[in-house]
Every structure is written in C-alpha cells, then in structure tokens.
Structure 1
Amino acid sequence: MSTDQPTNQPTNQPGNEARGSEPAWLLVTRREVVSRITDKSFLFGTAFMVVLIAGFIGFNAWQEERTDQVTLAATPDSVAMATAVADGAPEVDEDVEVTVVEVDDREAAEAALLDDEADAWLHPGDDGWQLTSESSEQGSLTGVVEAVVSQQVLADNAADVGTTVEALQAGSTVSTDFLRGDAEKAGVAHAVGFVFVFLFYFAALVFGMQLASSVIEEKQSRIVEIIAAAIPLRHLLAGKVLGNTALAMIQLLVYLAVGLVGLSFTSYSSYVPALSGPTAWFIAFFFAGFVALACLWAVAGSLASRTEDLQATSTPLTMLMLVMFFGGLSLDGRGQVIASFVPPVSAVVMPKRILAGGVEWWEPLLALGLLAAFAAVTVWVGERLYRRALLQTGGRVSLRQAWSAAE
C-alpha cells in the first residue's frame, strides 16, 4: 500500500502552526535572511556595489579638484594671442592651466604636436583663429581659447571704432533664475533622484527574481509539500516576503550611507543635510513599494511549475517595473504630480518631487498612505493566489485558475 501523502490536503488551518515558541512566519523570515546573508555571492555583490559607489564618488571628487595642464604651441604671429589665452584661462576655467611653447614655424608646430610636446597649436586662420591638435579635440582648452580669443578680438575691434567692449555688450547679458532653489541644487536633486529610481528598480528586480526562483525550486522539488504539512502557506509567504524585504532594506541602507558619506567629501557636501529628509522619505516609500512587488514576485513563482515558466508568469510584473523605472525618470510637470499619488509608481516619483522641493507637507503622507493601502490589498490578493497555485503541479497555472481553485 502506498504511503504517499495527498498533495492537496488542507495546509492553512488555524491550528496548523509550527512547533516551538516562535511563529512560523518568523522562522521562515530568519531562514531567508540567514541563508542569503551568509551566501558569498550576496556578500560579494553588496561589497562590489559599495566599492563601485565609493569609487564613482571618489573619481568625481578627484576630477573636480584636479587641474588640467595643457601646452599651447604658438608661432611668432600668434605668441601674443597665445599669451593672452594663458593669462585669461583662470578667469574662464579655474581648472585649466595653459603653458605657451614658442615654435619657429608651421613645421615646428606640427612636429611639436606629433612628438607630444604640445597639446594644440594656435595660429591665424582664413577667418579668425584656428586651434589645431594631433588627432583629438582638447575639450577644456577649446572652451578657454574660444572665450579668450572672442574677448580679445572684440576688444581690438572696439578700440578700432573708438568704443569699449562694455559699451558693445551693454544689455546682452542673459542670466538664469529658478522660482525655487538654484541651478546647482536642481542638478544635485536630479542626480539623486536618478539614484533613488535606479536603486528601487535594481533591488526589486534582483530580489524579486531570486524570490520567484526560490518558490519555483521548492515547488518543482516538492519540498513545499513537506513545508505545507508543517506550517500554513500564508506564513511561508509572509516569511519569504519579509525576509527578502529585510535583505533589500539592509542593502539599501548600506548604499545610501556610503553615498551620503562619500558626498560629504565632495564640493556638494553642503547639500548632505538637505538630502537627509528626502532620503528618509525614500526609505519609507521603498519599504511599502517593495513589500507589494515582493508579494507579486512570489505569486509569479507559484504560478510556474518549472524555471522555464517564470518568464511568462513574470512578464506583467516586469512590464510594470519598466513603467515605474522610465516613468520615474521621464515624468515631469502635471504628469509627475499625478503619478506621485498613483501606486506603485508613487514609490519612485514622490521621493523625486520631495527632492525638487515645493511639495506640501500633506502630499507625501497622502501618497505613502495610498501606497501602503495598495501594498495591503496586493498582499491580500497575492496571498490567496499564492496559496491556491503553489501546490498545483503539471503545468503553468493561470491567474484565473489560481483565483478560482478550491482551498
């Protein structure tokens, strides 16, 4: 007589709890966290990302402080202009230092370029002045030369007609202004907003795929049937979602801490206190949004019977995440305001609005409340689909089949 246990036996009865003093969901959560946090690939990936963030910030800080030293060759007919360029370079760009090298003629200038004795050669052209380099444009030097030569030639032409440069340029200045903040602050807010969107997308995709894969692995190996005989499936789902959420939050806090500390060593250190508030809001929105998506990833895994089925069952979720990613990056104006209240897109859009400023105090609270409500509904719906699809084998399960299946 066969001793196999039926696979469709009730597993979520109220009395079917794990033995011991701890609730079953906490045991599953601990297992998820411990198994991942001791995994070398997880630790290596986290350490690599930390090094990448620190290296990127360090490289940019070094780039800001380094001086670009360039050598400008000048023939006798351009020595005066080249000297003016060298003298005026600090006023145009304080990070560019120009050294003039005098050469006898054109052949000597070209030889200096080919032998790397000079970075560029300034000489008169058919209509103005020409800057010649060997094979690549000297970006910083070009900008300095264009500004100084334009100013010098304008001064000479003004003197020829008996006026001044100031008189010729009177009323031609164009300045920029912002209703809120300034240009530099807006640039920092835009960059940090991109980081927020990327971190959410990266965490939701990586941890979501791993969560779905673990569900499929347990289902395919039929280990889940043994687990279901010991604890309710809703506890298994809760433990998996909370465990992966805890791991994602740990990684997020590490990345944000490294980023803020690194930023304090750059020229943007004065913005670190102002970024603390938006960062705290982002953590709250990240938590609510990630819980909802993690539950959906678990459902995607439960609908599949093989690893090959995951691409089909997770396609709607992947498309949703792409909408969140590109929406978070590209939306602005009224569209951004509306999206900041629409879950789950609000998880990335509202923190960007908070960074930009001008958000009323009640708006983040309302958006977070709506996102939390969406997460609660998602967890309720996902828990029903997960329980009814997890023990079904023999092929991919549709959402309709999972929803209407018997308990």
Structure 2
Amino acid sequence: MSTADKTTTKSNGSSEAPWLLVTRREVVSRITDKSFLLGTVFMVVLIAGFIGFTAWQEERTDKVTLGATPDSVAMATVIEESAPDVDDSVEVSVVELDDETAAEAALLDDEVDAWLHPVEGGWELTSESSEQDSLTDVVSTVVRQQVLTDNAAGVGSTVQELEAGSDVSTAFLRGDAERAAVAEVVGFVFVFLFYFAALVFGMQLASSVIEEKQSRIVEIIAAAIPLRHLLAGKVLGNTALAVIQLLVYLVVGLVGISFTSYKSYLPALSGPTAWFIGFFLAGFVALACLWAVAGSLASRTEDLQATSTPLTMLMLAMFFGGLSLDGRGQVIASFIPPVSAVVMPKRILAGGVEWWEPLVALGLLAAFAAVTVWVGEKLYRRALLQTGGRVTLRQAWSAAE
C-alpha cells in the first residue's frame, strides 16, 4: 500500500497516527527490499570473515627455514631453540650448509628462506629477493640477546645487570595503555559504522523526498496528513532501520570476538557499546532530519549534490575528527554536538572518563538533536511544496507557512 493510500485510510477514520503509518511504510519497504537485505548480509559476511581471518592468523604457525654455514650453526641453533619464546607463532628449522656457495644455491632453489652468517660488526640475514619479516624479528631479538649475554660474560657481568634501569614503560593520565590499544581499533569501527549508516540511510532518505516532490505525489500526501507527520515518519523509519542494522553488525562483531584471543575484552566492551548505541541514536536523528531538509530543498535528483554539500562536509569532519583527535582536543570535541556522537564513545572505550561526562555529552547531543529537528521541520515544510528550481535555505526559512 502506498503512502497516499495509507493516509487516505487515516482520513477515512483509521485510528492510527499518520506518522506511524509513514514509519511503518519506510521500515517495511526497506526490509523487503532485496538490495537492503543483500547489503546487510554482505556486511555481516565481511565482518565475520575479517574476524575469522584474524583468528586464523593468530592460530597459524609460520614455519621458516634458516640456512647456516659452519660459522653460524651455533647462533642458528640458539635462534631455533629461542624462537618460541620470542614469537610463539614462528617455528624455525635450521638447515646446515657447507659454505657460501651452497647457501646461495639453497636460497635460489627455495630450500631455505634465509641464510644467517657473520659480517664485520655483526650478523647478516640474507634472503633470495624478499625479506622474511617474522623471521627477521625473531633473529634480531635472539641475536641481540645472545651477543649481550656473551659480552656481559666477557666482562664478568650479566645481561640483567647491564640492562638494569633501562626499561621504559608507558602510562596514561586517563585510562591505561592496554585499553587504549583496543579502543583505537574498536573506536575506528564505531566511527566507521556511524559514518556509513548516516551516509547511506541519509542519501536514501533525501532521494525518497526528492522522488515524492518531483512526481508531485507529495501534494496528494500533504492534502491528507500534516507534513510534519510525513517528516517524523521518514526520520523515525530510517532511524529504526539504521539501529536494527547497527545492532546486527555489533552482535556479529561481539560474538566473533568471543572466538578470538581478544575475548577477555568483551566485558570491558559491553558498556562502551551500549553508550555508543545511545549516542548513535541521538546523532542519527539529527542528521536524518538534515538529510530530509536537503531533499526538500532540491527539485530534481541533480540538485541533491548542491543541497547536501554542507551536510556531507559536516559528516566528513565528524569522520576524520573522530579518527584523528586526541588529547585535549578530543576531550573538548567529546562535548560538542554532533562530533560528540563519535568522539565520546572512543573516550569511554579508552577509559579514564568521569561518570558524569557521557551523561553531559549525551544530554548536549540530545538537545542539539531537538533543536535540529525543530529547525529542520520548519525548513522541510516550507521547502517541500516549492517547485520550479532549487530552494535556498534563506528562501525556505522566509517562506510562508
């Protein structure tokens, strides 16, 4: 049933509110749309595949062969024995070679991944054409440790005595280093999901407004229900769809993490995730209303790029601000709507946030959303029925009710 049919039903005596009819139409039409379903399934598969690949990479053992000529067999044997202590995902096997010629031949024939041999001032790890990163890291660590041990013994000391007082640790005034590393990754996911949802659903909302305006069907709808009900239905419908899709992605992600070595972080992620949903809801409502205004200002699909440019720039500022801000700038931005929708959840993830800070930030964001909806509703109503060309914000605001 079309929106016009539903609103006609309302005018004929239906007890259901017009905005609820529009909301239901938006939800049902999108949920039954194949492109929406396929897009959601694709993202779920992508998330699950990425987490699965990460888990597989963590469990996978990198088996490498290290060639050693007579002058490096002793050091290579130490590397073979110590490799699991340096990186438990690297397994080193030593292949003894007669001389330099045999070592070069073994490299060219792929019999060994690298050849270890002494050079003036240290050791050299030679490979055929590309560096073996995991092997290089292990060899560098073990050789350094072994050389330090030998040198310390030569002067009647130990490595521990020589390195005493040289350890450097990291700390944060707010939160801790371990949570900061997790927050960096999960924070990126939060920022990306918000940007993706606001852009995709916003463009679709604006396009639907333009289609109804260009086909003049909005004039029929306006005769049956108040335009504010039409706006409310569209915003609420798309918000519901965005939240449903977001919850699907978050559930898949959290369940996937439970099968990886990061599962110990799940309890710490549950609270910030709940906060993110709240900030997402308030921020999305504000942006969805602005997208509807962008659609109402346009008279043709070609006009949407011009009418939505300020909004697109705002979203880009939110995206890059959410990723790049840190320190005092991040703290300040976490209270400024609508950037706070993505910055405050990142701060909560990192820890060190006072209990009242998210409440204040969410309250400010909700107030911003309320003002945006109030202003947007006026612009939407005054611009929607104006045809014949693109409407400016000044023209929409000064137009008669």
Alignment TM class, shorter chain as reference = over 0.9
Alpha-carbon shift at residue 164 of structure 1 (Å): 3.0
2:176–2:351 Cα contact (<8 Å) kept: no
In structure 1, which of residues 62, 69, 91 is the aligned counterpart of residue 85 of structure 2? 91
- One-letter code of the match for 2:333? A
Aligned equivalents of 1:20 and 1:210: distance in 2?
29
Alpha-carbon distance between aligned partners in 2 of 1:166 and 1:349, rounded to the nearest angstrom? 43
Partner of 1:57: 51
Aligned to 1:391: 385
Q: What's the CA shift for 1:167?
A: 3.0
Matched, 1:158 2:180: no
Distance 2:248 2:156 in 1: 65
Q: Which residue does 1:118 correspond to in 2?
A: 112
Q: What amino acid sits opposite 1:242 in the alignment?
A: L
Matched residues in 2 for 1:24 and 1:183: separation?
A: 52
For 2:354, the equivalent position in structure 1 comes to 360
Cα distance in 2 for partners of 1:315, 1:360 equals 36
Structure 2: runs of 5+ lacking an equivalent: 1-9
Q: What TM-score does the superposition give when structure 2 sets the normalisation length?
A: 0.94
State the match for 2:309 in structure 1: 315
CA drift at 1:248: 0.1
Equivalent residue for 2:68, pick from 53, 70, 74:
74
1:117-160: CA deviations, max 9, x gaps?
Answer: 11111111232111011111111110111111112222223333
Contact persistence 1:18–1:231 (CA under 8 A):
no
Match of 2:295 in 1: 301
| Gap change, CA 1:150 and 1:235, over 3 Å in 2 | same
What does residue range 128-167 of structure 1 map to in structure 2 within 5 Å?
Answer: 128-167=122-161
Q: Separation in 2 of the partners of 1:109 and 1:184?
A: 43
Which segment drifts farther, 51-60 or 105-114? Answer: 105-114
For 1:179 and 1:236, the matched residues in 2 are separated by 49
Residue type at the aligned position of 1:342: I
Aligned-residue offset at 1:369: 1.2
Which of these residues, 229, 238, 242, is aligned with residue 235 of structure 1?
229
Change (3 A) 1:176 1:333: closer
CA gap of 1:344–1:99, structure 2 versus 1, over 3 A, is same
CA distance in 2, matches of 1:381, 1:175: 51
Bigger shift: residues 169-178 or 83-92: 169-178
Query: Retained in 2: the 8 A contact 1:304–1:397?
Result: yes
Counterpart in 1 of 2:3? none
Query: Contact (CA 8 Å) 1:18, 1:24: kept in 2 or not?
Result: no
Deviation at 1:17, TM superposition (A): 5.2
One-letter code aligned to 2:367: A
2: CA distance, partners of 1:116 / 1:404: 77
Helix, strand or coil at the partner of 1:77: coil
Map residues 233-382 of structure 1 onto 2, 5 A cutoff. 233-382=227-376
Does the C-alpha gap of structure 1 residues 171 and 185 become closer, same or farther in structure 2, counting only changes over 3 Å?
A: same
Q: Equivalent residue of 2:204, what SS?
A: helix
Paired with 2:164 and 2:353, the residues of 1 have a C-alpha distance of 39
TM-score, normalised by the number of residues in structure 1: 0.93
Aligned to 2:193: 199
State the AA in 2 paired with 1:338: I
Taking a change above 3 Å as real, the CA distance of residues 397 and 388 of structure 1, as seen in their structure-2 partners, is same
Task: Give the residue type in structure 1 aligned to 2:343.
Answer: V
Output one character per residue of 1:163-202: Cα deviation in whole Å (capped at 9) or x when no partner: 3333322332223344555432221122111111111111
Q: Given residue 112 of structure 1, which amino acid in structure 2 is its aligned partner?
A: A
Give CA-to-partner distance per residue, 1:340-384, whole Å, 9 cap, x none: 111111111111111111222222111111111111111111111
Q: State the SS of the aligned residue for 2:72.
A: helix
In the alignment, is the contact (CA less than 8 A) between 2:210 and 2:300 conserved in 1?
Answer: yes
Contact 2:179 2:351 in 1 (8 A): no
Partner SS for 1:334? helix
Partner of 2:71: helix, strand, or coil?
A: helix
Distance 2:214 2:128 in 1: 63
**In structure 2, the residue corresponding to 1:90 is in which secondary structure?**
helix
CA separation of 1:320 and 1:18: change in aligned 2, threshold 3 A: farther
1:331 is aligned with what amino acid? L
Contact in 2 for aligned 1:70/1:119 (Cα 8 Å): yes
The root-mean-square deviation of aligned C-alpha atoms, in Å, is: 1.5
> How far 1:305 moved relative to its partner?
0.7
3-state SS in 1 of match to 2:166: coil
| Aligned partner letter, 2:373 | V
CA distance in 2, matches of 1:287, 1:149: 54
Aligned residue number for residue 36 of structure 1:
30
Whole-angstrom distance in 2 between the partners of 1:266 and 1:24: 47
Letter in 1 for 2:147: V
Is the Cα contact below 8 Å between 1:340 and 1:367 reproduced in 2?
yes
**Structure 1, residues 230-268: CA drift from partner, whole Å, max 9, x if none?**
211111111110110000000000011111111111111
Structure 2: distance between partners of 1:181 and 1:392: 53
The offset of 1:162, in angstroms, is 3.5
Secondary structure at the counterpart of residue 124 of structure 2 = strand
CA distance in 2, matches of 1:309, 1:276: 42
Q: Distance in 2 between matches of 1:18 and 1:306?
A: 32
1:47 aligns with 2:64: no
Distance 1:224 1:260, change over 3 A: same
